[in-house]
Amino acid sequence: MPFSNRKILLGVTGGIAVYKALELTRLLKKQGADVRVVMTKSATAFVQPLSFQALSGHSVHFELLDTEAENAMGHIELARWADVFVMAPATANTLAKIAHGLADDLVSTLYLAATCPIYVAPAMNHAMWKHPATQANLKILQTHGVNLIAPESGEQACGEIGVGRMAEPETICRGVLQTPAHEDDFGYTGRCNLPLQKSGVCKTPLRIIITAGATREPLDPVRYLTNRSSGKMGYALAVAAQKSGANVTLISGVTHTAPPLNCHFIQVETAEQMHTAVFENLENCDIFIGAAAVADYRPIVCGDEKIKKNAEQITLTLQKNPDILANVAALDSPPFTVGFAAETHELERYAREKLTRKKLNMIAANWVGRDEGGFERDENALEVFWRDGQQSLAMTEKSELARQLITLISERYYAKN
């Protein structure tokens, strides 16, 4: 069984999604894990600890200062015992507390005491999720190396619609399953040797921002201009960068592709929103990869009313969008900047022209509008160029191609730094 002998500490904090943590406990147990549950006081208002006890087969811990519980297994012992610590649901309040090192209950104390991989599966109202305070706390947690299992979009318990609903138990279980049982399960000799962790300093991941997918440029309330990007290439890069030890922020247009687990995922719609999201997240960014197919132009006017189809012809006036990639590379102290080039002809000439004009460190060029590779497909091939070199990456699955590109990027990144 995939989780045989894995010791999983489940921190349950107070929100309506507590009921889903019961199913999560059941799924983790079914995979062979030994699960111990810790609840905050407010979580016990939603579901009785007895339910978790019945499913996990162990007493539930909820008091920090309970001599009996401390005698059985104290909080430091619990933290040492765990192979993985999962907080699901993690409320806005708990995220804020752990981001700032407050330890006033058992769950937040265990956060400070645990040295194992930590996952948080937030659950809250969509306005609370979007609030700059929550987003700032998530960024802090990312610098602690916490893995985020992003909340989903949909109807919330309060009746409103938006992002904030806790990920489904199956999704959380799959995310936790990705944690390597041994450090060299990543395929490297040890975590310190992962290519996207700062050399010499153990477990200091590089910060990578990746853009992916197509932007949508609204014409009226129901129509928009877009392109064929599915997000597959950018999402595969996010997974490959994570496996190489990086802290990944994925900024994506609307896609039908499920976002990778554990990365900081930001969904946007338009090129201007993508530009804003990139610049809001650039602090301490080591590597920027622009895999998104950003619309070069947007309709100059987006009316409140649907455009009527009375006229035989209509004219759209378009306004140039900001060039996200070029603006990142033009910063005083830019991250290592990698662009993509989607070309229908003269691939090398146009790619090298973009490399120079946009002042990039590297560019990965792919053919588009052909039978294979490029937009929407599961496979792709790339010609990668930098100032004094180039490398061809042959047609293969996007997941494998992304792994090869991330390796190449890390080599060039260290050659430059």
The candidate with the shortest Cα–Cα distance to 363, out of 342, 332, 394, is: 342
Q: Which of residues 124, 339, 352, 410 is near ligand PMT by CB under 6 A? A: 339
Does residue number 325 form part of the binding site for ligand PMT (CB under 6 A)? yes
Shortest gap between Cβ of 358 and ligand PMT (angstroms)?
A: 7
Does residue number 231 form part of the binding site for ligand PMT (CB under 6 A)? yes
Does residue number 321 form part of the binding site for ligand PMT (CB under 6 A)? yes
Shortest gap between Cβ of 306 and ligand PMT (angstroms)?
A: 27
CA angle 68–70–72, rounded 5-degree value = 75
Please indicate whether residue 158 is annotated as part of the active site.
yes
Shortest gap between Cβ of 393 and ligand PMT (angstroms)?
A: 11
Q: Which stretch binds ligand PMT (CB under 6 A): 46-54, 75-83, 229-237, 306-314?
A: 229-237
DSSP-derived secondary structure for 331-353: SSSPPEEEEEEEESS-HHHHHHH
Containing 385, the helix (H) or strand (E) segment is strand 379-386
Nearest residue (CB) to ligand PMT, 336 versus 340: 340
| Dist CA 263 CA 242 (whole Å) | 8
Does residue number 271 form part of the binding site for ligand PMT (CB under 6 A)? yes
* Residue 149 contacts residue 167 (beta carbons within 8 Å): yes
Does residue number 232 form part of the binding site for ligand PMT (CB under 6 A)? yes
The candidate with the shortest Cα–Cα distance to 30, out of 55, 12, 59, is: 55
Does residue number 386 form part of the binding site for ligand PMT (CB under 6 A)? no
* Residue 124 contacts residue 15 (beta carbons within 8 Å): yes
Does residue number 267 form part of the binding site for ligand PMT (CB under 6 A)? no
Return the bridge partners of 384, or none.
364, 391
Count of residues that interact with ligand PMT, criterion CB under 6 A: 28
Shortest gap between Cβ of 136 and ligand PMT (angstroms)?
A: 25
φ/ψ (deg, to 5) at 110: -65, -30
Containing 247, the helix (H) or strand (E) segment is strand 247-252
Does residue number 250 form part of the binding site for ligand PMT (CB under 6 A)? no
Which stretches of the chain bind ligand PMT, using CB under 6 A? 211, 213, 229-233, 271, 290-294, 296, 321, 323-325, 339-342, 354, 366, 368, 374-376
Positions marked catalytic: 158
